[in-house]
């Protein structure tokens, strides 16, 4: 009964006209940035963080969440129609989706992507409703030692699941942790790494750093090789699936949803890993595996279901433990802190309107996306003709205004510009910037819990071993690190990511 009451509160919050409007704006923007190759939800949410200052917390987070899962829908449109994924999680959708479009089956491919995403989103929202409250209840029993160990596990997992070199992912985590140390000491208030600059007394501005690394860095990379975008299909028809197609997608959608729901919860997982894993699994077990790469409808159904399920279950650790599982969740935590909300298990009890309103809005947003995506295919196709040289100056101007408006500080604009160059350099050197943001967000929390635990134990590090839960989490982190470092696992991991 209590769950029904909570859901009632969620529906009341999400269905208020104001929140419905922001949910619609979020999913519309999400679809648009998913459609436009080179933007993506991380850069967009980073750019829009300053706007959330003037919004109520519930509306702000509903809109930002809408951008994230909306981008999963939008990315498939460009992947299918022009073989150019708008979003990293739609890369594998392009393999078979584009082949279907070339065969005159763009309509069924787009319908499969939309219906698979809606089903997966509905299941993931249901899992969120069931899993989040008990998990938050368990998390309330966590002390500083347990939180420290949980964050160590999160950082180790994000290194293990980051694409590319392990050493490079580890370097990014350490760099993020070091950047998180800039500012005033948690306990004593002593300034660290500020170089006598008063602007750095409160640490590096989260909004400026994330806009620089993900916003400007991505733009510089995309300007380097602007794609010529020829639209394969200008008029899409036949959006209804045949009975045979429907039968073929049921299994892949169910398997993709299950796999995506699990991988979304893991730190460093999320939508991209889920879509790749679902496609690989389907390719191995499908009775129609010979058609993969030549226009198999299963090759669209499985990754599209997985990426949407992964995008939405990644909210579980963020909302219940206050721990981000991917860069978008790190930005969401930043948005909560900006709004004066402390991320963690207390959100469920202290901010029930925010918690339940956000969960219900995800299902409403998924429904909006099905109604938005299929009838407006023509509009999304026309958006693809916007040349980059017109789009990117507008985005850079928007970034500068956003960075300045946070503290009315020109210094933040310079910080953003510096991190734009840093982000671009990292991309050129094949360093994945995502672990840097996770390290930057978790660094101060990690330090605070480490020092709190040491204070309570009067300086004894044994506190991390004598608490069973803390010991268990550290052992899992150590085992994961050992497994990933093993030569056989390492080569398999590199092979999987290169594929």
Rg (alpha carbons) of the chain, rounded to whole number: 22
Highest mean pLDDT among 263-267, 346-350, 379-383, 409-413: 409-413
Phi first, then psi: give them for residue 192, nearest 5 degrees. Answer: -130, 135
Q: Is the pTM of this model over 0.75?
A: yes
Is residue 454 exposed (0-12), middle (13-18) or buried (19+ Cβ within 10 Å)?
A: middle
**CA gap 248, 309 in Å, rounded:** 20
pLDDT at position 289? 74
Q: Which pLDDT score, from 0 to 100, does residue 21 have? A: 93
Average of pLDDT values for 450-471?
87
- Using CA atoms of 401, 403, 409, 415 in order, give the dihedral in degrees to the nearest 10: -130
- Using alpha carbons, select from 320, 331, 321, 314 the residue that is nearest to residue 437: 331
Q: Where are the beta strands (DSSP E) in 107-235?
A: 183-184, 191-192
Taking the C-alpha atoms of residue 452 and residue 142, their distance in angstroms, rounded to an integer, is 13
Q: Where do we find the tokens 């672990």?
A: 435
pLDDT at 491: 64
Look up tokens 């496609």; give the residue: 279
Q: What is the largest CA-CA distance in the chain?
A: 70
What pLDDT score was predicted for residue 487? Answer: 67
Give the contacts of 456 (CB within 8 A, at least 6 positions apart).
143, 144, 463
Structure tokens at 463: 């506190």
The packing angle between helices 243-265 and 271-285, to 10°, is 130
Using a pLDDT cut of 70, give the percent of the chain over it.
90
Q: List all residues 6 or more positions away from 291 whose beta carbon is below 8 Å from its beta carbon.
A: none
pLDDT of residue 140: 76
Q: Find the mean pLDDT for residues 312-339.
A: 84
- Name the CA dihedral angle for 312, 214, 14, 301, rounded to a multiple of 10 degrees: -40
192 has which bridge partners? 183
Q: How confident is the model at residue 1 (pLDDT cuts 50, 70, 90)?
A: low
pLDDT at 498 over 70: no
Residue 112 pLDDT exceeds 80: yes
Position 493 pLDDT exceeds 60 = no
Measured between alpha carbons, how far is 310 from 321 in angstroms, rounded to an integer?
Answer: 17
- In the structure, what pLDDT confidence band is assigned to residue 22 with cuts at 50, 70 and 90? very high
pLDDT reported for residue 270 = 65
Task: pLDDT band for 414, please (50, 70, 90 cuts).
Answer: very high
Average of pLDDT values for 238-248? Answer: 77
**Structure confidence at residue 23 (pLDDT):** 92
Distance of alpha carbon 316 from alpha carbon 33, whole angstroms: 24
**pLDDT given at position 291:** 80
pLDDT band at 230 (very low <50, low <70, confident <90, very high): low
pLDDT tops 80 at residue 268: no
């Amino acid at each position: 009964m209590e769950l029904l009451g909570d859901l009632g509160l969620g529906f009341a919050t999400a269905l208020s006209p104001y929140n419905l409007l922001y949910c619609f704006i979020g999913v519309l923007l999400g679809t648009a940035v998913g459609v436009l190759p080179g933007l993506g939800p991380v850069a967009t949410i980073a750019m829009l963080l300053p706007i959330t200052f003037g919004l109520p917390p519930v509306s702000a987070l509903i809109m930002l969440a809408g951008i994230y899962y909306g981008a999963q829908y939008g990315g498939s449109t460009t992947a299918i129609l022009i073989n150019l994924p708008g979003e990293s999680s739609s890369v594998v959708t392009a393999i078979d989706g584009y082949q279907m479009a070339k065969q005159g089956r763009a309509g069924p491919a787009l319908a499969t992507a939309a219906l698979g995403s809606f089903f997966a989103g509905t299941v993931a929202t249901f899992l969120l409703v069931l899993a989040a409250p008990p998990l938050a209840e368990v998390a309330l029993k966590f002390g500083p030692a347990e939180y420290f160990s949980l964050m160590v596990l999160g950082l180790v997992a994000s290194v293990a699941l980051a694409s590319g070199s392990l050493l490079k992912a580890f370097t990014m985590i350490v760099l993020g942790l070091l950047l998180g140390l800039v500012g005033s000491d948690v306990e004593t208030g002593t300034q660290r790494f500020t170089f006598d600059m008063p602007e750095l007394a409160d640490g590096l501005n989260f909004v400026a750093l994330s806009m620089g690394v993900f916003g400007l860095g991505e733009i510089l990379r995309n300007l380097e090789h602007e794609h010529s975008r020829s639209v394969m299909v200008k008029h899409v028809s036949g959006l209804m699936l045949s009975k045979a197609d429907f039968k073929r997608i049921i299994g892949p959608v169910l398997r993709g949803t299950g796999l995506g729901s699990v991988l979304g919860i893991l730190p460093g997982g999320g939508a991209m890993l889920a879509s790749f894993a679902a496609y690989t699994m389907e390719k191995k077990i499908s009775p129609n595996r010979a058609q993969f790469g030549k226009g198999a409808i299963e090759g669209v159904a499985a990754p599209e279901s997985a990426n949407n399920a992964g995008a939405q279950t990644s909210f579980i650790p963020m909302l219940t433990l206050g721990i981000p599982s991917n860069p978008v969740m790190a930005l969401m935590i930043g948005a909560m802190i900006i709004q004066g909300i402390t991320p963690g298990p207390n959100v469920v009890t202290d901010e029930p309107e925010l918690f339940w309103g956000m969960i219900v809005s995800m299902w409403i947003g998924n429904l909006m996306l099905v109604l938005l995506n299929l009838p407006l295919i023509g509009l999304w196709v026309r958006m693809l003709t916007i040349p980059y040289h017109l789009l990117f100056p507008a985005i850079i101007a928007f970034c500068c205004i956003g960075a300045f408006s946070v503290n009315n500080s020109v210094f933040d604009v310079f910080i953003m510009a510096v991190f734009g160059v840093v982000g671009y350099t990292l991309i050129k050197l094949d360093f994945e910037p995502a672990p840097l943001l996770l390290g930057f967000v978790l660094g101060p929390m990690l330090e605070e819990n480490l020092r709190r635990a040491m204070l309570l134990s009067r300086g004894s590090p044994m506190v991390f071993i004598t608490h069973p839960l803390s010991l268990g989490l550290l052992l899992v982190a150590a085992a994961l690190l050992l497994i990933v470092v093993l030569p056989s696992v390492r080569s398999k991991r590199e092979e999987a990511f290169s594929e």
